Amino acid sequence: MTPAHRATFSFLLPTRDRVKDLTALLESIQRTTRHPERLEIVLGIDEDDAATRDLEWRGLNVRKTILPKGLTMGAMNNACYAASTGRYVMLMNDDMLLHTMDWDVCLENALAPVTDDIFLAHVNDLLFGEKLCCFPMLSRTFCDLAGGVCPDCYERYRIDDDIYNVFNLLAIAGHRRIFYFPEVVFEHLNFEAKGSGDKEYLYHKPTLDRDAKRFDERFGERKALAHALADHIEAARVRDIRAAREKVLGALPHSDACRHPGHPRRILTAAAGSSAVGARVTLGVVCSDLRRPHTQTCLSLIKANTSNYELVILDNANDPDFNHAREMNRLLEFSRNSQVVLLDDDVYVEPGWLEDMQAALTGNVGCVTPVHKDGIGRRSYAGVYVGLDDQGEHAHLLEAGDRPVPIPTLCSAVMLIDMARCGHLRFDEGCLKYFHDLDYGLQVWEAGSEVVCNTKVPVTHLGGATLKQGSVAASSFNDRDRQTFLSRWIDSGRLRRLRQDCWSRVPELDELYKLPERFEALLEPSALGGAAWKEEVAALAARQAEIPAMRTTFLAKMKAYMFRENAQATPAARAIMRWVWHLVLNGQNQNDELAGLKARISDLVDRWQAEDRRVVVYPAGAQTASLFRETRLLQANIVGLGDANQFLEGEDMWGRIVVSPASLMTVRPDVVLIASKGYQDEIWATLRPLLPESVELIRLFPGTTP
């Protein structure tokens, strides 16, 4: 306890003419508090409330502050706060009872490690529990930053919501400081018991409505406070790091004590020899729970198919504050081997996988990533393309030749790092879940080394094992991390400089990034029209269709063209641009194919409706989504979607449940429609043995064996 704080805890307790309830509360406080000498109870009493003003209590430090009649609850709380001295302050009501013995020791021990004093402690009121923080406990440091314990404007309600919202904003900013104590019970008695046994909170609706309006109006002020709290936390962290550094350096007795063979990092040039195949590797697997089946399969396959390695398992035990980039940086920091492999626990490796990546460490290559397959053997990744637009659009590349291919950047699900060339680089810990791997690959290029994708031995990457892709949580992380990436690479101009200064000298990447430039040149009025022009536009449209993120760039260039003066001055020019627009959206030769699909699906839907057929569409991917948008398919009686990705099983997509191949019959289909163009033969071969002959299995696209 510092001299400035005579108490550890201050209860701020506005009360009026409720001596009986207040007495019961004080009795419960006295009964449950181990160290009453560290607690003060500040009563806010209206000046005309003689009964409460005259109340005396022995055994507790009860302080009284006399208030003008008619103050808002917010103003009364702040008046109590001004009269308090505690390091920690809690907003309370007189309709409460404390039940948890030694609550003060429990909270003090839990809050002591929060040295920057920014937190919201939240106890169990047996009415709302974890859902709502009715009685917030805060620090004096927070109140000083906020200009008081709460806003004066609230008449009676929404004070707790206002404080809770600030800390939820702070959590979105990267600092989770809401601490809920379910076993510390401060019962709230403001309820009406229902016959069902439920409790209904009692409130005065007109007052609540007025306070709700004030709450909505204060959103901008709460955002500003969240920024101030984050600044305080981050500044305190910097001071703690500096103090620790001073302690370490201060303990050194002389200059010779600084020398250590592990300190230098060897950085090789392109002319230097590459790391040998078979070199000892530090192999780090990042997982959320070592016991999960896919993690066990991942580790078993590593053991069976890898040699000369040290295995490090980074099990975060479902830590809600887990930061993938930080954990990978820790592994890079302590590794003493010449190569490091980072691998997610939803990746399955095959014989020769590591040697194949090591063989690609030639010339100036500093980082290698393998081709990925998905859960049913389809190629799903051969590098990552990042657009130069201002949205951070990126997408997997799928083309892979017979040799290692330079790629703009990579996915960190599997990556091999040559520590001699790239050991000084680190993942951006400002990216909590996504974009840190894109950032790292770009750093490798920026540092003068190369990133390549090896093509001979693929790995299977299930994807979405830790956090389901497309979920609300995943979207939240993605949106936040996208802004970090945009700031570091797009807004700063670093990515464009990389394209101009580095990738322009790499033929594969130069050709890739020239595609939008070639397309833009074809939009010039002098170039429009002609058979050769149409063929070139169609070829570019087909190429960009393989890279979804590039489509955004193509469409942006078309929009820029169409807003030029006189760009579509003639009907012919408008018709040409409509043709190009549709071609970019649908790829080469998609007009005729789409018309054919619409007709085929329309016939199928008519037949299914007439025969009352139950339909499953397989798989639950982008092609299915496109068919739902472009055709009548949703008019059929679709009872489910099928997909081999085990992490989609049981999910609700487009209002239909996703089932695995082995579980297709649980939704009792009469028809299974294969909606994959590139893999329909493989899917047919997988599903046909699993389905009774009575279930019709239909290939949607032409050109395959019957």
* CATH superfamily of domain region 9-230: Spore Coat Polysaccharide Biosynthesis Protein SpsA; Chain A (3.90.550.10)
- Could you tell me the CATH superfamily of domain 281-493? Spore Coat Polysaccharide Biosynthesis Protein SpsA; Chain A (3.90.550.10)
Helices (H), 103-204: 103-111, 140-146, 159-172
Q: Which residues of the chain have pLDDT under 50?
A: 1-5, 270-274, 465-475, 588-591, 704-706
Please choose, from the candidates 153, 132, 52, 141, the residue with its C-alpha nearest in 3D space to the C-alpha of residue 89: 141
Q: How would you classify the pairing of strands 405-406 and 450-461?
A: antiparallel
Q: Cα(190)–Cα(277) distance, rounded to whole angstroms?
A: 71
Distance CA 119, CA 485 (A): 28
Q: Could you tell me the two tokens for 247?
A: 């302690």
Give the Cα separation of 681 and 674 in Å (integer): 9
Q: Which residues contact 477 (CB under 8 A, 6 or more apart)?
A: 432, 433, 434, 467
**What is residue 1's predicted lDDT score, i.e. its pLDDT?**
38
Q: What is the pLDDT of residue 568?
A: 52
d(CA 624, CA 639): 14
Q: What is the pLDDT of residue 574?
A: 67
Asked if 89 and 5 count as a contact pair (C-beta separation under 8 A), the reply is no
pTM score: 0.51
Of residues 24, 21, 73, the one with CA closest to residue 44: 73
pLDDT of residue 471: 39
Closest Cα to residue 403, out of 376, 439, 363, 441? Answer: 363
Pure H helices in 140-218: 140-146, 159-172, 205-217
What pLDDT shows up at residue 20? 92
Grouping H, G, I as helix, E, B as strand and the rest as coil, residue 527 is: helix
Q: Helix 590-611 to helix 571-586 angle, to the nearest 10 degrees?
A: 60
What size, in residues, is the chain? 706
Non-local (6+) Cβ contacts of 155 within 8 A are 72, 73, 74, 207, 210, 211
pLDDT of residue 580: 73
pLDDT for the residue 276 = 63
What is the distance between the alpha carbons of residues 476 and 171, in angstroms, rounded to a whole number? 12
Phi, psi of 93 (to 5 degrees): -115, 165
Q: For domain 592-699, give the CATH number.
A: 3.40.50.720
Per the CB < 8 A criterion, the answer to whether 139 and 87 are in contact is yes
Give the pLDDT score at 589: 44
Q: How many other CB atoms sit within 10 Å of the CB of residue 259?
A: 7
Distance CA 644, CA 362 (A): 37
